[in-house]
A and B are shown apart, each in its own frame.
Chain A
Amino acid sequence: MIAAAIAAWLVLSVEGSLRSWSALLAAPAVVLLATGLALRQPAAIPGSIALLGATYALRLLTETNTLDGGAPFVAAALFALAEVAYWSLELRDGVADESGSHLRRVGLLSSLAVGIVVVGFALLALVETVRTTGPALDAVGAAAAIAAVALLTVASRRSGS
């Protein structure tokens, strides 16, 4: 339901002819997530999140060069969706939780979501302040991409340990 709500929000926020293309991305995301949860396949979760992210990226294409203030909320929503989806899979292990654990987890998730929104706005503010184009931005982007790949490598190595 959360995925459907986010998908609907993302699709409805797109205007013009791209709305149908957004729907074509968002609908499989919801279906993929629902199927993955039903079949207990955690691999479906990042795929679904990626599709929803692509829907948001499509919306960005229709906008002008001004920064979208809704990005931190989309980030928080997608992260919360991923966490809730993994939580849903964990709950199916048949392990009885002690009282209060769910409430604690909801609290943690809410705190993280608020933190993500704050960090997101901080990042947007930073970008707005130093916004420029050209090789400098490309260099920063390339560094970020290399860092991401390095992070992925580290994560994979730890997964194998």
Chain B
Amino acid sequence: MTLSASPRVTAYASLGALALLGALVARRPELAVLAAPFALTLAVGLRSTSPPRVTAAFSLDRERALEGDEVLVELHLDSEEPVERLELLFVLPPGLELLSGENSVAIRLGWDDERTVAFSFRCIRWGNYVLGDVKLRGRDRLGLHVWEQQLWQQRSLRVYPLPETLHQLVTPATTQATTGNEVARAKGAGVEFADLRPFAPGDRVRSINWRASARRTGTGNELVVNERYPERNTDVILFLDTFAEARTGSASTLDLAVRATATLATRYLERRDRVGLVSFGGMLRWLVPGMGLTQRYRIVDALLETEVVFNYAWKDVSIIPARTLPPHALVLAVTPLLDERSVSALLDLRARGYDLAVLEVSPEQFAYPGETELDQLAHRLWLLHREELRARYASLGVAVATWRDDLPLEAVLEGVRSYRRHAPLARV
């Protein structure tokens, strides 16, 4: 706690001294009367300078929230001595917005007084927030002293990105060996009908297609069995590009990318697929593929820590641990395609035979053409360069979908799905 004198002290002392000296020089006692209020105020106010003992604690009504959720804060104050004016400020970090009440209030505390100040804020942006920076400033009755105290009680609040609506996902080209929800292309034991074939020793009786066998009765008395597609799971690697971002105010490509990645992770994990995460940027982070709710929380918690870390070192896919990129996995890249390192890393992954799809979080909505003709020309050239970049991916059979904030993610991914249905994978 720091104790300081308010500007009044020096001002009143100066005024009092000046008036007294004036009274002495001019020999007019009236000027001494002018000095009296200032001198008396100082004499009374400076008697006690002991700071009040104020304790404060706060509570949040939740520790986890979604973007847009409202969180209630209760700040409990307790003082043994009266404080004429106690100003308190609960610092809200960027990304949290005051909703109701006041996080900066002035109250009066009496003897053994307890007060609770409540307010609520809205979570604007996903992130891992640490709350608890509370600043207290007390004044005495005459406003001569100011006590300042900072309380730091760390309490974390995890704000998860709001999931996008997504019903259908991008289907990987190849499935894995374990059971899942994706219909495999290879035939085996499953539910989905694939084909008919002649009965062979070892086939189960329940797989005989009696109707088809009856139709072939006259041809050779052979039985026909159903072949089916098995349901398998897939490996999906979410490749989040964190090398660079385009930002305007509070919105950025990284915010959208994290939201999309969290949504995709959730939806793939709900299908019992194995999902891994590679956050490829100035700082490399990865999560090996896994399944279930635990993996979902791992991924989302890892996403909350995502930030753009500037790094000029050249990085390629060789620095990614091999077990993070299992064979036949679908690599779904969420990237603004702004940094050459991530662009070439994705091309490298495709060249290594990975099934790749790119969800481009468009930075174009954050870049404005400018006023001058030269600026507009540069903007057009930049747009052309991006077109050329997409064409390079398309020539390799990689679907690139451009996502803007005003488009639903569902519609954008539908573009990827239709491209992958019709476009053959290029030989690389």
Does B31 sit within 8 A of A, measured CB to CB? yes
Does A101 sit within 8 A of B, measured CB to CB? yes
- A123 and B13 CA atoms in complex are apart in Å by 19
Stretch at the interface among B34-42, B154-162, B327-335, B405-413: B34-42
Stretch at the interface among A1-9, A11-19, A25-33, A68-76: A68-76
Does B54 sit within 8 A of A, measured CB to CB? no
Which residues between 13 and 49 of chain B lie within 8 Å of chain A, taking CB atoms? 13-24, 26-43, 46, 49
Question: Do A98 and B33 touch (CB < 8 A)?
Answer: no
Does B11 sit within 8 A of A, measured CB to CB? yes
Does B87 sit within 8 A of A, measured CB to CB? yes
Question: Do A149 and B106 touch (CB < 8 A)?
Answer: no
- Beta-carbon contacts of B93-110 to A below 8 Å, as 1s and 0s? 000000000101111100
Contacts of B38 in A (CB 8 A): 79, 82
Residue in B4, B8, B26, B34 with the greatest tally of chain A CB atoms within 10 Å: B34
Known pairs A93-B87, A161-B3; A155 contacts B13 (CB<8 A): yes
- A133 and B24 CA atoms in complex are apart in Å by 12
Our pick among A78, A93, A145 for the contact of B20 (Cβ within 8 Å) is: A145
Question: Do A50 and B18 touch (CB < 8 A)?
Answer: yes
- A112 and B41 CA atoms in complex are apart in Å by 9
Question: Do B42 and A97 touch (CB < 8 A)?
Answer: no
Our pick among A98, A116, A124, A142 for the contact of B37 (Cβ within 8 Å) is: A116
Question: Do A151 and B42 touch (CB < 8 A)?
Answer: yes
Does B141 sit within 8 A of A, measured CB to CB? yes
- A161 and B36 CA atoms in complex are apart in Å by 26
Question: Do A144 and B24 touch (CB < 8 A)?
Answer: yes
Which residues between 46 and 105 of chain A lie within 8 Å of chain B, taking CB atoms? 46, 49-50, 53, 56-57, 60-61, 67-68, 71-72, 74-76, 78-79, 82-83, 86, 90, 93-98, 101, 104
Known pairs A75-B36, A79-B38; A57 contacts B46 (CB<8 A): no
Nearest first, the 9 closest Cβ-Cβ pairs linking A and B are A141-B24, A148-B17, A71-B30, A46-B11, A159-B5, A79-B37, A42-B7, A155-B13, A96-B102
Query: Could you list 16 A-B pairs, sorted by A, with CB under 8 Å?
Result: A43-B11, A46-B15, A57-B26, A57-B31, A60-B28, A67-B30, A75-B33, A78-B37, A79-B37, A86-B6, A95-B106, A96-B102, A98-B105, A148-B20, A155-B12, A159-B5
